[in-house]
A and B are shown apart, each in its own frame.
Chain A
Amino acid sequence: MAPEARSPTSPATSPAGPLLEVRGLCSHYGRIQALHGVDLEIAAGELVALVGANGAGKTTLLRAISGVQPVTSGDILLAGESVVGASASRRVRSGIAQVPEGRQMFGPMSVEDNLMLGAYTRDQRQVATDLDGVYAMFPMLRERHRQAAGTLSGGQQQMLSIGRALMARPRLLLLDEPSMGLAPNLVEEIFATVEGLKESGTTIFLVEQNAYAALSIADRGYVMETGRVVLSAAGRALLADEKVKAAYLGL
Protein backbone atom coordinates (compact mmCIF):
# COMPACT_ATOMS: atom_id res chain seq x y z
CA MET A 1 0.00 0.00 0.00
CA ALA A 2 1.44 3.30 -1.06
CA PRO A 3 1.25 6.05 1.53
CA GLU A 4 -0.78 9.09 0.56
CA ALA A 5 0.50 12.61 0.80
CA ARG A 6 -0.16 14.17 4.20
CA SER A 7 -2.19 11.18 5.30
CA PRO A 8 -2.42 11.18 9.06
CA THR A 9 -1.12 7.69 9.64
CA SER A 10 -2.08 6.56 13.08
CA PRO A 11 0.97 6.60 15.30
CA ALA A 12 1.03 4.40 18.35
CA THR A 13 -0.45 7.21 20.41
CA SER A 14 -0.84 6.81 24.13
CA PRO A 15 -4.24 7.81 25.48
CA ALA A 16 -2.71 11.06 26.73
CA GLY A 17 -1.98 12.14 23.16
CA PRO A 18 1.32 12.65 21.38
CA LEU A 19 4.45 13.85 23.17
CA LEU A 20 5.21 16.35 20.43
CA GLU A 21 2.67 17.90 18.15
CA VAL A 22 3.52 20.46 15.46
CA ARG A 23 0.55 22.24 13.88
CA GLY A 24 0.69 24.42 10.79
CA LEU A 25 4.19 25.65 11.60
CA CYS A 26 5.56 28.47 9.43
CA SER A 27 8.96 30.10 9.68
CA HIS A 28 10.82 32.71 7.66
CA TYR A 29 14.39 33.82 7.10
CA GLY A 30 13.80 37.48 6.40
CA ARG A 31 11.33 37.51 3.53
CA ILE A 32 12.03 33.93 2.51
CA GLN A 33 9.60 31.38 3.86
CA ALA A 34 11.36 28.19 4.97
CA LEU A 35 8.46 26.28 6.52
CA HIS A 36 5.00 26.28 4.92
CA GLY A 37 2.61 24.94 7.53
CA VAL A 38 4.27 21.79 8.81
CA ASP A 39 2.09 19.28 10.69
CA LEU A 40 3.48 16.26 12.47
CA GLU A 41 3.30 14.37 15.71
CA ILE A 42 5.48 12.02 17.73
CA ALA A 43 4.17 9.67 20.40
CA ALA A 44 6.09 8.97 23.58
CA GLY A 45 8.64 6.22 23.01
CA GLU A 46 8.57 6.51 19.23
CA LEU A 47 11.53 6.89 16.90
CA VAL A 48 10.39 9.10 14.05
CA ALA A 49 12.61 9.95 11.09
CA LEU A 50 12.38 13.07 8.94
CA VAL A 51 14.03 12.76 5.55
CA GLY A 52 14.33 15.10 2.63
CA ALA A 53 16.80 16.82 0.35
CA ASN A 54 19.14 19.62 1.29
CA GLY A 55 17.28 22.85 1.91
CA ALA A 56 13.91 21.14 2.47
CA GLY A 57 13.63 22.83 5.88
CA LYS A 58 14.53 19.91 8.13
CA THR A 59 17.09 21.79 10.21
CA THR A 60 14.85 24.86 10.33
CA LEU A 61 12.05 22.70 11.73
CA LEU A 62 14.28 21.25 14.45
CA ARG A 63 15.58 24.70 15.36
CA ALA A 64 12.01 26.01 15.56
CA ILE A 65 11.10 23.15 17.88
CA SER A 66 14.09 23.99 20.08
CA GLY A 67 13.19 27.68 20.07
CA VAL A 68 16.31 29.02 18.37
CA GLN A 69 14.53 29.80 15.09
CA PRO A 70 11.62 32.26 15.18
CA VAL A 71 8.20 30.96 14.21
CA THR A 72 5.78 33.14 12.24
CA SER A 73 2.64 31.08 12.79
CA GLY A 74 1.49 27.67 13.93
CA ASP A 75 1.94 25.88 17.21
CA ILE A 76 4.30 23.44 18.91
CA LEU A 77 2.90 21.36 21.75
CA LEU A 78 4.94 19.29 24.16
CA ALA A 79 2.69 16.79 25.98
CA GLY A 80 -0.28 18.94 25.06
CA GLU A 81 1.16 22.24 26.25
CA SER A 82 2.15 24.95 23.84
CA VAL A 83 5.83 25.86 24.03
CA VAL A 84 5.84 28.20 21.06
CA GLY A 85 6.14 31.29 23.26
CA ALA A 86 8.76 29.80 25.56
CA SER A 87 12.46 30.66 25.38
CA ALA A 88 14.96 28.05 24.22
CA SER A 89 16.13 27.75 27.80
CA ARG A 90 12.60 27.00 29.07
CA ARG A 91 12.16 24.36 26.39
CA VAL A 92 15.30 22.55 27.53
CA ARG A 93 13.92 22.64 31.07
CA SER A 94 10.62 21.20 29.87
CA GLY A 95 12.44 18.29 28.22
CA ILE A 96 13.48 19.09 24.64
CA ALA A 97 17.17 18.51 23.90
CA GLN A 98 18.87 18.73 20.54
CA VAL A 99 21.98 17.23 19.00
CA PRO A 100 22.58 19.96 16.43
CA GLU A 101 23.85 19.61 12.91
CA GLY A 102 27.63 19.78 12.76
CA ARG A 103 28.01 18.66 16.40
CA GLN A 104 28.56 22.22 17.71
CA MET A 105 31.12 21.48 20.40
CA PHE A 106 32.43 24.01 22.89
CA GLY A 107 35.75 23.33 21.19
CA PRO A 108 38.38 24.61 23.65
CA MET A 109 36.54 23.22 26.69
CA SER A 110 37.14 19.72 28.01
CA VAL A 111 34.98 16.72 27.16
CA GLU A 112 33.71 16.65 30.73
CA ASP A 113 32.90 20.37 30.72
CA ASN A 114 30.91 19.87 27.53
CA LEU A 115 28.96 17.04 29.13
CA MET A 116 28.35 18.92 32.37
CA LEU A 117 27.14 21.94 30.40
CA GLY A 118 24.55 19.64 28.84
CA ALA A 119 23.02 19.44 32.31
CA TYR A 120 23.18 23.23 32.70
CA THR A 121 19.46 23.59 33.40
CA ARG A 122 19.36 20.82 36.00
CA ASP A 123 20.06 20.57 39.70
CA GLN A 124 23.79 19.88 39.73
CA ARG A 125 23.57 17.44 42.65
CA GLN A 126 21.65 14.96 40.51
CA VAL A 127 23.89 14.87 37.48
CA ALA A 128 26.85 12.81 38.72
CA THR A 129 25.10 9.49 38.06
CA ASP A 130 24.02 10.67 34.63
CA LEU A 131 27.62 11.52 33.82
CA ASP A 132 28.56 7.96 34.73
CA GLY A 133 25.73 6.74 32.52
CA VAL A 134 27.02 8.67 29.52
CA TYR A 135 30.57 7.42 30.19
CA ALA A 136 29.24 3.86 30.34
CA MET A 137 27.55 4.36 26.99
CA PHE A 138 30.65 5.94 25.42
CA PRO A 139 33.73 4.65 27.30
CA MET A 140 35.94 6.58 24.88
CA LEU A 141 34.62 9.84 26.40
CA ARG A 142 35.71 8.77 29.88
CA GLU A 143 39.23 8.05 28.62
CA ARG A 144 39.40 11.52 27.11
CA HIS A 145 37.42 13.46 29.68
CA ARG A 146 40.15 16.08 30.12
CA GLN A 147 40.86 16.52 26.43
CA ALA A 148 39.60 19.62 24.57
CA ALA A 149 36.42 18.70 22.70
CA GLY A 150 37.68 20.36 19.53
CA THR A 151 40.57 17.90 19.29
CA LEU A 152 38.32 14.83 19.09
CA SER A 153 37.66 13.13 15.76
CA GLY A 154 34.35 13.68 13.99
CA GLY A 155 32.83 10.43 15.25
CA GLN A 156 33.97 11.10 18.81
CA GLN A 157 32.53 14.60 18.64
CA GLN A 158 29.22 13.17 17.48
CA MET A 159 29.14 10.86 20.48
CA LEU A 160 30.03 13.75 22.77
CA SER A 161 27.26 15.82 21.22
CA ILE A 162 24.74 13.01 21.85
CA GLY A 163 26.08 12.57 25.38
CA ARG A 164 25.77 16.30 26.05
CA ALA A 165 22.12 16.28 24.95
CA LEU A 166 21.39 13.22 27.10
CA MET A 167 22.78 15.03 30.15
CA ALA A 168 19.66 17.22 30.01
CA ARG A 169 17.57 14.05 30.61
CA PRO A 170 15.31 14.89 27.67
CA ARG A 171 11.78 13.60 27.17
CA LEU A 172 12.29 14.30 23.48
CA LEU A 173 15.66 14.02 21.77
CA LEU A 174 16.09 15.85 18.47
CA LEU A 175 18.94 14.54 16.32
CA ASP A 176 20.04 16.64 13.34
CA GLU A 177 22.11 14.73 10.77
CA PRO A 178 24.10 12.65 13.25
CA SER A 179 25.75 10.65 10.47
CA MET A 180 26.90 13.64 8.44
CA GLY A 181 30.53 13.53 7.38
CA LEU A 182 31.32 10.27 9.17
CA ALA A 183 33.03 7.14 7.81
CA PRO A 184 30.65 4.22 7.08
CA ASN A 185 31.65 2.14 10.12
CA LEU A 186 31.06 5.15 12.37
CA VAL A 187 27.69 5.78 10.73
CA GLU A 188 26.72 2.23 11.70
CA GLU A 189 27.87 2.86 15.24
CA ILE A 190 25.85 6.06 15.50
CA PHE A 191 22.70 4.39 14.22
CA ALA A 192 23.21 1.51 16.63
CA THR A 193 23.48 4.09 19.43
CA VAL A 194 20.25 5.73 18.30
CA GLU A 195 18.47 2.36 18.28
CA GLY A 196 19.83 1.65 21.76
CA LEU A 197 18.45 4.98 23.00
CA LYS A 198 15.06 4.14 21.56
CA GLU A 199 15.08 0.76 23.29
CA SER A 200 15.85 2.45 26.58
CA GLY A 201 12.64 4.42 26.13
CA THR A 202 13.82 7.78 24.77
CA THR A 203 11.52 9.48 22.30
CA ILE A 204 13.57 10.43 19.25
CA PHE A 205 13.02 12.71 16.28
CA LEU A 206 15.78 11.91 13.80
CA VAL A 207 16.56 14.18 10.85
CA GLU A 208 18.71 12.53 8.21
CA GLN A 209 19.88 12.81 4.64
CA ASN A 210 20.89 9.18 4.93
CA ALA A 211 17.26 8.24 4.29
CA TYR A 212 17.77 4.51 3.97
CA ALA A 213 19.49 4.08 7.31
CA ALA A 214 17.11 6.43 9.10
CA LEU A 215 13.92 4.85 7.75
CA SER A 216 15.23 1.35 8.46
CA ILE A 217 15.34 1.96 12.19
CA ALA A 218 12.39 4.37 12.48
CA ASP A 219 8.87 3.48 13.61
CA ARG A 220 7.49 6.12 11.30
CA GLY A 221 8.87 8.60 8.84
CA TYR A 222 8.00 11.96 7.33
CA VAL A 223 9.29 13.22 4.00
CA MET A 224 9.83 16.95 3.59
CA GLU A 225 10.14 18.94 0.38
CA THR A 226 10.57 22.73 0.14
CA GLY A 227 9.22 23.44 3.59
CA ARG A 228 6.26 21.04 3.51
CA VAL A 229 5.63 17.51 4.73
CA VAL A 230 4.72 15.62 1.56
CA LEU A 231 4.58 12.03 2.78
CA SER A 232 4.21 10.23 6.04
CA ALA A 233 4.01 6.53 6.77
CA ALA A 234 5.60 3.74 8.73
CA GLY A 235 9.37 3.69 8.22
CA ARG A 236 9.41 0.48 6.19
CA ALA A 237 6.44 1.54 4.09
CA LEU A 238 8.33 4.68 3.06
CA LEU A 239 11.36 2.58 2.18
CA ALA A 240 9.16 0.61 -0.22
CA ASP A 241 7.53 3.69 -1.72
CA GLU A 242 8.47 4.23 -5.35
CA LYS A 243 8.65 8.03 -5.09
CA VAL A 244 10.85 7.89 -2.01
CA LYS A 245 13.05 5.27 -3.65
CA ALA A 246 13.51 7.43 -6.70
CA ALA A 247 14.04 10.73 -4.90
CA TYR A 248 15.99 9.85 -1.77
CA LEU A 249 17.34 6.33 -1.95
CA GLY A 250 18.88 6.51 -5.38
CA LEU A 251 17.24 3.26 -6.41
Chain B
Amino acid sequence: MFAEFLQFLLSGVTVGAAYGLVALGFSIIYNASHVINFAQGEFVMLGGMSTVFLMAAGLPMPVAVVLAVLVTVVLGLLLEKLAIEPARGAGVVPLIIITIGASIFLRGVAQVAMDREFHAMPPFTGDAPIMIAGATILPQSLWVFGGMAVMGMLLWYFFARARFGKAMLATAYNPLAARLIGVNTRLVLLCSFGLSALLGSVAGILLAPITFTSYDVGIMLGLKGFCAAILGGMGHGAGAVVGGLIVGIAEAMGAGYISSEYKDAIAFIIILLVLFFMPNGLFGKRTTERV
Protein backbone atom coordinates (compact mmCIF):
# COMPACT_ATOMS: atom_id res chain seq x y z
CA MET B 1 0.00 0.00 0.00
CA PHE B 2 2.60 2.52 1.13
CA ALA B 3 5.15 1.08 -1.29
CA GLU B 4 2.72 1.70 -4.11
CA PHE B 5 2.16 5.27 -3.01
CA LEU B 6 5.90 5.83 -2.71
CA GLN B 7 6.39 4.39 -6.17
CA PHE B 8 3.90 6.83 -7.68
CA LEU B 9 5.44 9.66 -5.69
CA LEU B 10 8.96 8.90 -6.91
CA SER B 11 7.96 8.70 -10.56
CA GLY B 12 5.91 11.89 -10.12
CA VAL B 13 8.83 13.74 -8.61
CA THR B 14 11.09 12.58 -11.43
CA VAL B 15 8.93 13.79 -14.26
CA GLY B 16 7.87 16.81 -12.17
CA ALA B 17 11.48 17.91 -11.87
CA ALA B 18 11.71 17.98 -15.66
CA TYR B 19 8.44 19.95 -15.88
CA GLY B 20 9.93 22.36 -13.37
CA LEU B 21 12.94 22.99 -15.61
CA VAL B 22 10.66 23.63 -18.57
CA ALA B 23 8.53 25.94 -16.41
CA LEU B 24 11.64 27.90 -15.39
CA GLY B 25 12.34 28.42 -19.07
CA PHE B 26 8.85 29.82 -19.60
CA SER B 27 9.23 32.12 -16.60
CA ILE B 28 12.58 33.57 -17.65
CA ILE B 29 11.35 34.59 -21.10
CA TYR B 30 8.06 35.80 -19.65
CA ASN B 31 9.93 38.03 -17.22
CA ALA B 32 12.12 39.53 -19.91
CA SER B 33 9.33 40.21 -22.39
CA HIS B 34 5.89 39.09 -21.11
CA VAL B 35 5.93 36.63 -23.99
CA ILE B 36 4.87 33.01 -23.47
CA ASN B 37 7.38 31.11 -25.56
CA PHE B 38 5.48 28.18 -27.02
CA ALA B 39 8.69 26.92 -28.62
CA GLN B 40 9.91 26.04 -25.11
CA GLY B 41 8.92 22.39 -25.60
CA GLU B 42 10.97 22.22 -28.80
CA PHE B 43 14.06 23.11 -26.78
CA VAL B 44 13.34 20.00 -24.70
CA MET B 45 12.95 17.91 -27.84
CA LEU B 46 16.11 19.34 -29.43
CA GLY B 47 18.16 18.53 -26.33
CA GLY B 48 17.14 14.86 -26.28
CA MET B 49 17.07 14.27 -30.03
CA SER B 50 20.41 15.98 -30.72
CA THR B 51 22.07 13.91 -28.02
CA VAL B 52 20.69 10.70 -29.52
CA PHE B 53 21.86 11.59 -33.02
CA LEU B 54 25.26 12.87 -31.93
CA MET B 55 25.79 9.60 -30.04
CA ALA B 56 24.69 7.64 -33.11
CA ALA B 57 27.34 9.56 -35.03
CA GLY B 58 29.89 7.98 -32.71
CA LEU B 59 30.48 10.69 -30.13
CA PRO B 60 30.88 9.62 -26.51
CA MET B 61 27.91 10.53 -24.34
CA PRO B 62 29.38 13.44 -22.35
CA VAL B 63 30.56 15.14 -25.55
CA ALA B 64 27.20 14.53 -27.22
CA VAL B 65 25.36 16.00 -24.22
CA VAL B 66 27.46 19.16 -24.15
CA LEU B 67 27.16 19.61 -27.91
CA ALA B 68 23.39 19.05 -27.81
CA VAL B 69 23.01 21.73 -25.15
CA LEU B 70 25.14 24.11 -27.21
CA VAL B 71 23.17 23.41 -30.39
CA THR B 72 19.91 24.10 -28.57
CA VAL B 73 21.20 27.30 -26.99
CA VAL B 74 22.41 28.56 -30.37
CA LEU B 75 19.00 27.76 -31.88
CA GLY B 76 17.32 29.61 -29.01
CA LEU B 77 19.50 32.66 -29.62
CA LEU B 78 18.81 32.48 -33.36
CA LEU B 79 15.07 32.25 -32.68
CA GLU B 80 15.26 35.50 -30.71
CA LYS B 81 17.53 37.26 -33.21
CA LEU B 82 15.72 36.22 -36.38
CA ALA B 83 12.08 35.95 -35.33
CA ILE B 84 11.45 37.85 -32.09
CA GLU B 85 13.76 40.85 -32.27
CA PRO B 86 12.61 42.07 -35.71
CA ALA B 87 9.00 42.03 -34.45
CA ARG B 88 9.67 43.55 -31.05
CA GLY B 89 7.48 46.57 -31.63
CA ALA B 90 4.52 44.40 -32.59
CA GLY B 91 3.22 43.70 -29.09
CA VAL B 92 2.98 40.59 -26.99
CA VAL B 93 0.28 38.63 -28.83
CA PRO B 94 1.97 38.66 -32.26
CA LEU B 95 5.19 37.60 -30.54
CA ILE B 96 3.43 34.66 -28.89
CA ILE B 97 2.03 33.63 -32.27
CA ILE B 98 5.55 33.85 -33.71
CA THR B 99 6.75 31.41 -31.03
CA ILE B 100 3.97 28.98 -32.02
CA GLY B 101 5.14 29.26 -35.62
CA ALA B 102 8.72 28.73 -34.52
CA SER B 103 7.76 25.59 -32.62
CA ILE B 104 6.07 24.10 -35.70
CA PHE B 105 9.10 25.06 -37.78
CA LEU B 106 11.58 23.49 -35.35
CA ARG B 107 9.52 20.30 -35.18
CA GLY B 108 9.43 20.13 -38.96
CA VAL B 109 13.16 20.67 -39.27
CA ALA B 110 13.79 17.99 -36.64
CA GLN B 111 11.68 15.52 -38.65
CA VAL B 112 13.65 16.20 -41.80
CA ALA B 113 17.12 16.61 -40.31
CA MET B 114 16.78 13.67 -37.91
CA ASP B 115 13.84 11.29 -38.24
CA ARG B 116 10.33 10.39 -37.06
CA GLU B 117 11.24 7.36 -34.95
CA PHE B 118 11.18 6.93 -31.19
CA HIS B 119 14.64 6.75 -29.70
CA ALA B 120 15.83 5.36 -26.40
CA MET B 121 18.80 7.08 -24.93
CA PRO B 122 20.99 4.96 -22.63
CA PRO B 123 20.80 6.03 -18.99
CA PHE B 124 23.77 8.01 -17.67
CA THR B 125 24.78 5.51 -15.01
CA GLY B 126 23.25 2.11 -15.66
CA ASP B 127 19.70 0.94 -15.15
CA ALA B 128 19.89 -1.18 -12.02
CA PRO B 129 16.89 -0.03 -9.94
CA ILE B 130 17.50 1.19 -6.42
CA MET B 131 15.11 -0.11 -3.73
CA ILE B 132 13.67 2.40 -1.27
CA ALA B 133 11.14 1.10 1.28
CA GLY B 134 9.59 -1.32 -1.16
CA ALA B 135 9.55 1.10 -4.08
CA THR B 136 12.12 1.24 -6.84
CA ILE B 137 13.79 4.21 -8.41
CA LEU B 138 15.98 4.29 -11.49
CA PRO B 139 19.39 5.91 -11.19
CA GLN B 140 18.35 8.18 -14.05
CA SER B 141 15.56 9.58 -11.85
CA LEU B 142 18.20 10.74 -9.43
CA TRP B 143 19.97 12.43 -12.32
CA VAL B 144 16.78 14.24 -13.31
CA PHE B 145 16.11 15.39 -9.77
CA GLY B 146 19.73 16.31 -9.12
CA GLY B 147 19.90 18.13 -12.44
CA MET B 148 16.92 20.25 -11.51
CA ALA B 149 18.34 20.98 -8.07
CA VAL B 150 21.69 22.08 -9.50
CA MET B 151 20.14 24.20 -12.24
CA GLY B 152 17.74 25.74 -9.72
CA MET B 153 20.58 26.72 -7.39
CA LEU B 154 22.69 28.11 -10.23
CA LEU B 155 19.75 30.19 -11.39
CA TRP B 156 19.05 31.41 -7.89
CA TYR B 157 22.66 32.49 -7.55
CA PHE B 158 22.60 34.18 -10.95
CA PHE B 159 19.48 36.23 -10.23
CA ALA B 160 20.23 37.01 -6.58
CA ARG B 161 23.94 37.76 -6.81
CA ALA B 162 25.28 38.30 -10.33
CA ARG B 163 25.10 41.82 -11.66
CA PHE B 164 23.66 40.82 -15.03
CA GLY B 165 21.15 38.53 -13.32
CA LYS B 166 19.93 41.42 -11.23
CA ALA B 167 19.71 43.57 -14.34
CA MET B 168 17.52 40.86 -15.93
CA LEU B 169 15.25 40.90 -12.88
CA ALA B 170 15.18 44.70 -12.90
CA THR B 171 14.10 44.59 -16.54
CA ALA B 172 11.27 42.25 -15.58
CA TYR B 173 10.07 44.58 -12.82
CA ASN B 174 10.40 47.85 -14.74
CA PRO B 175 11.72 47.85 -18.32
CA LEU B 176 11.72 51.66 -18.63
CA ALA B 177 13.70 52.18 -15.44
CA ALA B 178 16.09 49.41 -16.49
CA ARG B 179 16.83 51.24 -19.73
CA LEU B 180 17.29 54.51 -17.86
CA ILE B 181 19.97 53.04 -15.60
CA GLY B 182 21.80 51.74 -18.68
CA VAL B 183 20.69 48.11 -18.94
CA ASN B 184 20.77 46.87 -22.52
CA THR B 185 17.28 45.37 -22.53
CA ARG B 186 17.77 43.83 -25.98
CA LEU B 187 20.66 41.84 -24.63
CA VAL B 188 18.47 40.82 -21.67
CA LEU B 189 15.84 39.46 -24.05
CA LEU B 190 18.45 37.62 -26.12
CA CYS B 191 19.97 36.06 -23.02
CA SER B 192 16.56 35.03 -21.71
CA PHE B 193 16.05 32.92 -24.85
CA GLY B 194 19.54 31.44 -24.51
CA LEU B 195 18.96 30.61 -20.85
CA SER B 196 15.53 29.08 -21.53
CA ALA B 197 16.96 26.96 -24.33
CA LEU B 198 19.66 25.80 -21.93
CA LEU B 199 17.10 24.77 -19.29
CA GLY B 200 14.85 23.09 -21.86
CA SER B 201 17.65 21.09 -23.43
CA VAL B 202 18.91 19.93 -20.03
CA ALA B 203 15.40 18.75 -19.15
CA GLY B 204 15.13 16.93 -22.48
CA ILE B 205 18.48 15.21 -22.10
CA LEU B 206 17.89 14.14 -18.48
CA LEU B 207 14.44 12.80 -19.26
CA ALA B 208 15.18 11.06 -22.59
CA PRO B 209 16.53 7.80 -21.06
CA ILE B 210 13.29 7.40 -19.05
CA THR B 211 10.57 8.44 -21.47
CA PHE B 212 12.13 7.92 -24.91
CA THR B 213 12.38 10.84 -27.26
CA SER B 214 11.14 11.71 -30.73
CA TYR B 215 10.61 14.78 -32.88
CA ASP B 216 7.26 15.56 -31.25
CA VAL B 217 7.90 15.06 -27.52
CA GLY B 218 8.15 18.81 -27.20
CA ILE B 219 4.43 19.40 -27.57
CA MET B 220 3.38 17.57 -24.41
CA LEU B 221 6.45 18.44 -22.35
CA GLY B 222 6.08 22.07 -23.34
CA LEU B 223 2.41 22.19 -22.42
CA LYS B 224 2.96 20.42 -19.10
CA GLY B 225 5.77 22.85 -18.31
CA PHE B 226 3.41 25.68 -19.20
CA CYS B 227 0.81 24.28 -16.77
CA ALA B 228 3.49 24.11 -14.10
CA ALA B 229 4.53 27.70 -14.73
CA ILE B 230 0.92 28.92 -14.51
CA LEU B 231 0.32 26.88 -11.35
CA GLY B 232 3.41 28.31 -9.70
CA GLY B 233 2.70 31.84 -10.87
CA MET B 234 4.13 32.86 -14.24
CA GLY B 235 7.48 34.56 -13.81
CA HIS B 236 8.17 33.20 -10.33
CA GLY B 237 11.28 31.00 -10.10
CA ALA B 238 10.52 28.90 -7.04
CA GLY B 239 6.89 28.77 -8.16
CA ALA B 240 7.95 27.14 -11.42
CA VAL B 241 9.83 24.40 -9.58
CA VAL B 242 7.03 23.77 -7.10
CA GLY B 243 4.44 23.89 -9.88
CA GLY B 244 6.43 21.34 -11.87
CA LEU B 245 6.64 18.96 -8.93
CA ILE B 246 2.92 19.29 -8.16
CA VAL B 247 1.92 18.65 -11.77
CA GLY B 248 4.29 15.67 -11.98
CA ILE B 249 3.09 14.14 -8.71
CA ALA B 250 -0.60 14.74 -9.51
CA GLU B 251 -0.09 13.12 -12.89
CA ALA B 252 1.63 10.07 -11.43
CA MET B 253 -1.02 9.69 -8.72
CA GLY B 254 -3.82 10.08 -11.24
CA ALA B 255 -2.25 7.53 -13.55
CA GLY B 256 -1.70 5.12 -10.68
CA TYR B 257 -4.95 5.37 -8.73
CA ILE B 258 -7.46 6.42 -11.39
CA SER B 259 -6.36 5.37 -14.84
CA SER B 260 -3.27 5.85 -16.93
CA GLU B 261 -5.63 6.75 -19.79
CA TYR B 262 -6.20 10.09 -18.11
CA LYS B 263 -2.57 10.80 -17.34
CA ASP B 264 -2.24 13.65 -19.81
CA ALA B 265 -5.60 15.15 -18.89
CA ILE B 266 -4.58 15.81 -15.30
CA ALA B 267 -2.18 18.65 -16.05
CA PHE B 268 -4.88 20.36 -18.07
CA ILE B 269 -7.51 19.91 -15.37
CA ILE B 270 -5.04 21.55 -12.99
CA ILE B 271 -4.50 24.50 -15.32
CA LEU B 272 -8.25 25.02 -15.71
CA LEU B 273 -8.77 24.98 -11.95
CA VAL B 274 -5.88 27.40 -11.45
CA LEU B 275 -7.19 29.79 -14.07
CA PHE B 276 -10.69 29.67 -12.59
CA PHE B 277 -9.84 30.03 -8.93
CA MET B 278 -6.38 31.56 -8.58
CA PRO B 279 -5.25 33.05 -11.86
CA ASN B 280 -2.08 34.46 -10.28
CA GLY B 281 -0.93 30.96 -9.34
CA LEU B 282 0.47 29.77 -6.02
CA PHE B 283 3.24 32.34 -5.78
CA GLY B 284 1.65 34.91 -8.07
CA LYS B 285 2.77 38.50 -7.83
CA ARG B 286 1.36 40.23 -4.83
CA THR B 287 1.53 43.87 -5.79
CA THR B 288 3.76 45.87 -3.52
CA GLU B 289 3.71 49.05 -5.57
CA ARG B 290 2.59 52.15 -3.79
CA VAL B 291 1.76 55.15 -5.93
Contacts and interface: CB of A to CB of B under 8 A. Distances in A.
A190 interface: no
B180 to A, nearest CB: 5
B182 A121 contact: yes
A217 B169 CA distance: 37
Contacts of B176: 68, 100, 104
Contacts of A121: 181-182
Contacts of B182: 88-89, 91-93, 120-121, 168
B179 interface: yes
A68 B163 contact: no
Interface string B50-61: 000000000000
B288 A109 contact: no
Interface string A105-129: 1111100010011101100100000
A168 B181 CA distance: 8
B261 to A, nearest CB: 43
Contacts of A148: 288
A181 B169 contact: no
A202 interface: no
Interface residues of A, number: 36
A120 B167 contact: yes
Contacts of A92: 180-182
A203 interface: no
Contacts of A27: none
Given A89-B184, A100-B176, A100-B177, A106 B169 contact: yes
Interface stretch (A16-24, A74-82, A151-159, A223-231): A151-159
B183 interface: yes
Nearest to B176: A104
A113 B184 contact: no
Nearest to A153: B290
Interface string A39-53: 000000000000000
Interface string A165-203: 000100000000000010000000000000000000000
Given A106-B174, A109-B169, A98 B180 contact: yes
Given A100-B176, A108-B173, A109-B170, A154 B181 contact: no
A107 B290 CA distance: 9
B291 interface: yes
B290 A157 contact: yes
Nearest to A148: B288
A42 to B, nearest CB: 18
Contacts of B287: 150
B116 interface: no
A102 interface: yes
Contacts of A66: 179-180
B170 A117 contact: yes
B169 A87 contact: no
A102 B180 contact: no
A150 B173 CA distance: 11
Contacts of B117: none
A181 B181 CA distance: 23
Nearest to A161: B177
Nearest to A100: B180
Interface centre among B173, B183, B291 (most CB of A within 10 A): B173
B166 interface: yes
A160 B215 CA distance: 51
Interface in A207-236: none
B179 A107 contact: no
Contacts of A107: 173-174, 288-289
B170 A106 contact: yes
A148 B287 CA distance: 11
Interface in B160-178: 163, 166-167, 169-170, 173-174, 176-178
Given A106-B173, A108-B173, A109-B169, A68 B289 contact: no
A106 B289 CA distance: 9
Contact of A87 (B167, B184, B290): B184
B290 A89 contact: no
A58 interface: no
A89 B265 CA distance: 47
A116 B167 CA distance: 10
Contacts of B183: 89, 117, 120
B214 to A, nearest CB: 41
A116 B160 CA distance: 13
Nearest to A68: B179
Interface centre among B166, B177, B180, B290 (most CB of A within 10 A): B180
11 contacts: A67-B179, A89-B184, A104-B177, A107-B174, A116-B166, A120-B182, A124-B163, A150-B289, A153-B290, A154-B290, A168-B181
- In the complex, the 7 A-B pairs of residues with the closest C-beta atoms, listed nearest first: A92-B182, A150-B288, A104-B177, A121-B182, A89-B182, A106-B173, A88-B179
Given A107-B288, A109-B170, A116-B166, 7 more contacts: A92-B182, A100-B176, A104-B180, A107-B174, A150-B287, A150-B290, A168-B181
